[in-house]
A and B are shown apart, each in its own frame.
Chain A
């Protein structure tokens, strides 16, 4: 998916004007939000688990170079082949080389965000390989040529009618709005692809350094099938997926499924350590693991920015964000949406071009409250804002002329001395009072955005400080007056 994060503003308007999409975004989020809270109650102490996982994410990132080396060593010892890719292009090249090198013409895929990040499907198709997404929702949007609507519900925006129309033309089935019948049709259609595919390609949810294992979480069984039926399994992962131990991996997975779909655990959890060994009944002959950086080490060095890599892609933040729940996923212009996208896209796509993602935040902080990684979104957004204001060459962030900078300078200058404050207050209040009508202000030549939806109250007859001063002179005995204890100085 080609990033279009710079189109956020116009896409917000499109989404808000699309009544069906707007309602859907809210409903989907509402369901996931509720299910998450319900599922978390299965822990004796949910808050403690969240702290543990957040700590594990932090520790794992701290030790990342060491864990990556350890993982390569253990996975190789288990019989896997490990590859390193600096960027999306290298990752795609490595994978297409493996696939075409074996003369494979058909690939099945498990749903994977990172392969969307690299646009792997296009690369494979360009190399003459037919690619089928194995996840039902992902398969539907792939066939329609659309981006996924939601991270775990890629086709959740489509009606049964729309899916029926697609399947009629694709598979020649009788039209039906019965979801079970549609699911069965897709299953039959895809089963054949799984049976004849030369390679199964998946992402990785968590990788374990101590054992060299990769863990995959899903509900439909397509990943289990993609990693066992074809002779070759290729797994693509980004560097931050590592944890140290199996215990840490299982704890993260337990919290992932609860935070994501509100399931205590997903229908399938696959833990894969190397290809099929002698005497084992299933598994591929070859396991190739491609570990990709794609811009991550560039900000890994920065302690504050590094926390973005704590994200485990659960999407809990989507379900609660007041902005995401009004506009939905595609508005964000890239695969990562909501607060998750506002944290990752600036770092992976570019801070300047993703500016509206982190600026369009109400600062409510609810994303931080639900984040299993313990990411402090508001700190990151603030840091991104500073990068845009001052420039940040280390990440190629350009300083941008900021219309509010002059206002903020004037504002803070005015606020830093009592007499300037009084003068500004008097002028400002006089200005406002000119526009009062029927007890409130309905419009001003400034702050247009505010008045599109709401009024301002008429300023009170006097400022609080004037009222206080008049009270004091009326009755000095009533209140304790503290005097002379403070003078402004630094």
Chain B
């Protein structure tokens, strides 16, 4: 049986442990054995995007050292995968030896839905849900990693589910990390439009694949539309898995 190394973002570890557990559950259902390296902390994304690239050098090296020996490294967060794959080579550009090691590790890092669909070839995890869902295309997946079909395949293979169209599904939700705190009015305006589109879609649940978008959108829904839900795809799948049918 294959083994995968869990790359659990700090936001998930500290706030959203359920999402980490759901990731484990989904991977086990897919027939692989996840393991977790407790030395991992944060990939450094907030520091890098704020321009404090030098402060992230040690974090990037730590990541390389911790995960270097693992064959498959799987993460339920598009933005953290993006950090390792696209930002680390820049963070480490003045140290070519480290940069090379980082690129080698990065080639084995996968976003969860990408790993399930592209690596394992699994599109049906055996979940069932009677109702309407919509899917928000997180920028980190869609644009930074080019992952668009994989999450939608996993959703459309949920028995009983209706995946409804979401207007402006590929437009940013207004999170942007520090942006949401530094420019609250702008972030709020963008977020308000995102949620309005979700409400108008008629879906009960908005699915997405990045903890950043999740905190942002779910936080707004919790305050303004408590009858609706935003969920990470992994959490949604895990909570709707049918009883195991195989022996």
Contacts and interface: CB of A to CB of B under 8 A. Distances in A.
> Do A and B come from the same complex?
yes
Contacts of A456: 15, 215, 219
B144 interface: yes
Interface size class of B (residues with CB under 8 A): 35 or more
Q: Is the interface of B mostly helix, strand, loop or mixed?
A: helix
A117 B81 CA distance: 41
A415 B41 CA distance: 6
A364 B216 CA distance: 14
Contacts of A463: 13-14, 17
Contacts of A468: 20, 24, 36, 38
Contacts of B68: 486
A408 B191 CA distance: 25
B228 to A, nearest CB: 14
A362 B139 contact: yes
The A interface, classified by DSSP as helix, strand, loop or mixed, is: helix
B185 A457 contact: no
Contact of A465 (B36, B59, B144): B36
Nearest to A320: B171
B3 A480 contact: yes
A365 B171 CA distance: 10
A363 B52 contact: no
Contacts of B33: 479-480
Contacts of B5: 482
A313 to B, nearest CB: 23
Interface in B1-46: 3, 5, 8, 10, 12-18, 20-21, 24, 33-39, 41-42, 44, 46
B52 A408 contact: yes
Given A415-B44, A416-B59, A364 B176 contact: yes
Interface of B: 3, 5, 8, 10, 12-18, 20-21, 24, 33-39, 41-42, 44, 46-53, 55-56, 58-59, 61-62, 65-66, 68-69, 90, 139, 143-144, 171-172, 174-193, 215-216, 218-220, 222-223
Contact of A459 (B15, B52, B178): B15
For A384, A465, A487, the residue with the greatest tally of chain B CB atoms inside 10 Å of its CB is A465
Given A464-B13, A465-B36, A454 B185 contact: no
B55 A412 contact: yes
A456 B222 CA distance: 9
Contacts of A368: 143
B189 A460 contact: no
Contact of B139 (A16, A365, A409): A365
B55 A409 contact: yes
Given A389-B51, A490-B58, A425 B13 contact: yes
Nearest to A486: B66
